[in-house]
Structure 1
Amino acid sequence: MKVAVLSFAHVHAGGYLRLLSRMPGVEVIGSDPDTGSAVPGEVRGRAFAEELGVAYAPTYDEVFAWGPDAVIVCSENARHRPLVELAAAHGVDVLCEKPLATTVEDGEAMLAACRAAGVRLSVAFPVRFSPAYAAVKAAVTSGDTGRVLTVSGANNGAMPTRSRRWFADPGLAGGGALMDHTVHIADLLDDLFGEARPVDVYAQTNNRMYQGEVDAETSGLVTVTYDNGAVATIDCSWSHPRSHHSWGGLELTVVAERATLEMDAFDQSVEGYSERDRQGFELPFGADLDERMLRAFLYGPREGGMEVADGEGGLRTLKIVAAGYASARSGVPVPVG
């Protein structure tokens, strides 16, 4: 199977290239011709591919001439649409980094292009492959917990500009922390609630953290009301200090009629403090969620396992984000389109 990674702009591009290069039966190639958003110190393009020891194509045309069976889009958020439409025009299945797009209009156009071409459009939400989430979902779907009443979620992390500066550029990212981190928990709830749909969103944002350093919001709290009666809050802030030993995490508390469930998607780690380095450290173990997601995308889910999020689900989470920004501007709850 031939798989191409289009653009190295996203921080996950390197991880995907490493994982794909180790998968038996997979040939991988990368291409990163659009490096205009890179700033000094960010390694991109051929140099990045050489660091990872993977094949490189200087143009996307050369990638598609190579004949990939699937592509993974890792560009800046605002550049997802043209790459997804390019893959659709070549009849190639797509896994697109989250969020699906920066506007609902672009997301709808991407879906339409893939439908017309008869190709799959999937969205990279690896947290749904967490064993902790699987346990929460099993408890809820079995009926043991009763109806879900409220959900409190936090997807916090470090300021991502230390890896890629464009994450805090509203033009390329579509926003800041609200755009970056709301969608992961929104996707879990989209899967957990099944046919239930979001009704309205109330959000508040600010950039008091890193004020004056970036224009995008660095903090956010989003409240989503669903038509099944559940209310969810999502803390999407870039609130981890730069000195923190981990990039961040994702936690979820589900309060139902007969039980309260708690999960930490990235709690499989040993943490400590290094006297030699004078800083904290983290040694993760357990399931590699990115690898599980990639295998499900390329080969389908395991029996009874999780499926990769599809384009329709990605669009639903994007609509929550769009309503969140509208609410943060107006100060009132906004219906989800």
Structure 2
Amino acid sequence: MIRVTVIGLGSMGEVHLECFRKMDNVHIKAVVDLDEERAVAYGQKYGAKPFVTIEEAMEEEVDVVSVCLPTDQRFEIVKQAADKGVDIICEKPLARTVAEADKLIAYCEKKSVRLFVGHVVRFYPEYNKAKEAVQNGAIGKLGVVRTVRNRAFPHRETEWYGSTSRSGGVLLDLLVHDFDFLRSCFGEVKRVYAQATTSGKSEIDYALVTLRFENDIIAHVEGSWAHQKDRSAFEFAGEKGIIQYDTSQTSPLVVEKVNHDQVESPFKQSAFQAQLEHFIACIENGSTPLVSAADGYKAVAIAEAASQSVVSRQPVDLQSVMAKR
């Protein structure tokens, strides 16, 4: 039985708790939140010991710590968990900066603990189906890729999302999903160019990022916190056809070939459930995770390069960002 402590009981903390509760091989031993009333309520709901301080919670004997805190609060907490010698599941992004992500990876390696990063898009069947089709040559030689990720502004009690210094804004908190997924499809990114605007709710409400991969594939990555409804979409354009996905459509995933054949693939599986079950299985049997800590680091690096490009209004060589390692 894998014993788990969940730290941070906001929306993602609750997602983790719900997923863990469905696993027969997981026992939720402790929950942690600065809000004592919330901690107690969640402790009662999930049969766990409630804590309001990390130090007290770390005294519990557990196998895994699940870190669901705001981005700028994760660095020290991950280190504290590593000091206890337990494995760590950290929500994306791995850290606020490339430097912090690098230090966390090195620290966990030093402490001989495993660090898993919650890049959940890798576990969405729709994305995997499209990736498999592209890599199998279903639409021939790839030309241009486009992704869209739109959300309503994520209001929270402390409004930490709106502060780029805390959350990384749209580029790090939102588009890091697509940076990681596209890198898993096409390999390493060579150069990043980004533009961004704001409507006042946050420092960046809208961003358009162009990624040039080392194999010269170009991807346009669009993200926004200025919409009322959530929408995710992608389009892979190749010489033999197009693969399209759009959550706003009745049939979200369509493979449209030159001969106009169509294949529709509806999916119902919870990607978060699949992700956490995968991480727990890796902890139990020592297998290699689908998403590595190094993947998490590189996704942060792409977001940091995009942030630099917004300021400089110039393309940024990704190696110049990662050279900090």
TM-score grouping bracket, smaller chain normalisation? 0.7 to 0.9
Change (3 A) 1:187 1:319: same
1:78 aligned onto 2:72: yes
TM-score normalised per structure 2: 0.84
Query: 1:225-240, aligned counterparts within 5 Å?
Result: 225-240=212-227
2-side partners of 1:269 and 1:165: how far apart? Answer: 35
Change (3 A) 1:43 1:140: farther
2:4 is matched with 3
Following TM superposition, by how much is the alpha carbon of 1:16 offset from its aligned partner in structure 2, in angstroms? 0.9
Change (3 A) 1:324 1:142: same
1:182 aligned onto 2:175: yes
2:189 is matched with 198
2-side partners of 1:267 and 1:114: how far apart? Answer: 42
2-side partners of 1:266 and 1:230: how far apart? Answer: 26
1:220 aligned onto 2:219: no
Query: 1:113-128, aligned counterparts within 5 Å?
Result: 113-128=107-122
Following TM superposition, by how much is the alpha carbon of 1:198 offset from its aligned partner in structure 2, in angstroms? 0.7
Which residue identity does 2:193 align to in structure 1?
Y
2-side partners of 1:232 and 1:285: how far apart? Answer: 25
On the 8 A contact 1:252/1:264 being kept in 2, the answer is yes
Change (3 A) 1:161 1:324: same
1:252 aligned onto 2:234: yes
1:334 aligned onto 2:316: yes
In the alignment, structure 1 segments of 5+ residues that lack a partner are 36-41, 271-283
2-side partners of 1:165 and 1:107: how far apart? Answer: 23
Following TM superposition, by how much is the alpha carbon of 1:215 offset from its aligned partner in structure 2, in angstroms? 4.2
On the 8 A contact 1:149/1:229 being kept in 2, the answer is no
Following TM superposition, by how much is the alpha carbon of 1:76 offset from its aligned partner in structure 2, in angstroms? 1.0
| Segment of structure 1 superposing worse, 306-315 or 96-105 | 306-315
SS at match of 2:59: helix
Change (3 A) 1:163 1:29: farther
Per-residue CA deviations over 1:273-327 (Å, capped at 9, x if unaligned) read: xxxxxxxxxxx981111100000000139xxxx9442110011111111011111
Query: 1:26-41, aligned counterparts within 5 Å?
Result: 26-34=26-34
SS at match of 1:65: coil
On the 8 A contact 1:177/1:237 being kept in 2, the answer is yes
Following TM superposition, by how much is the alpha carbon of 1:188 offset from its aligned partner in structure 2, in angstroms? 0.9
Change (3 A) 1:235 1:318: same
On the 8 A contact 1:205/1:217 being kept in 2, the answer is yes
Query: 1:309-320, aligned counterparts within 5 Å?
Result: 309-320=291-302
On the 8 A contact 2:31/2:48 being kept in 1, the answer is no
Which residue identity does 1:160 align to in structure 2?
P
On the 8 A contact 2:28/2:46 being kept in 1, the answer is no
Following TM superposition, by how much is the alpha carbon of 1:48 offset from its aligned partner in structure 2, in angstroms? 4.5
Change (3 A) 1:147 1:300: farther
Following TM superposition, by how much is the alpha carbon of 1:75 offset from its aligned partner in structure 2, in angstroms? 0.9
1:277 is matched with none
On the 8 A contact 1:3/1:70 being kept in 2, the answer is yes
The share of aligned pairs that are identical, in percent, is 29
Per-residue CA deviations over 1:173-210 (Å, capped at 9, x if unaligned) read: 1x3222221111111112112xx2111111111112xx
2-side partners of 1:325 and 1:19: how far apart? Answer: 33
SS at match of 2:155: helix
TM-score normalised per structure 1: 0.81
Change (3 A) 1:252 1:330: same
Structural RMSD (CA): 2.7
Query: 1:16-27, aligned counterparts within 5 Å?
Result: 16-27=16-27
Count of aligned pairs: 301
Following TM superposition, by how much is the alpha carbon of 1:266 offset from its aligned partner in structure 2, in angstroms? 8.3
Which residue identity does 1:218 align to in structure 2?
D
In the alignment, structure 2 segments of 5+ residues that lack a partner are 253-265
| Segment of structure 1 superposing worse, 121-130 or 306-315 | 306-315
On the 8 A contact 1:11/1:163 being kept in 2, the answer is no
1:130 is matched with 124
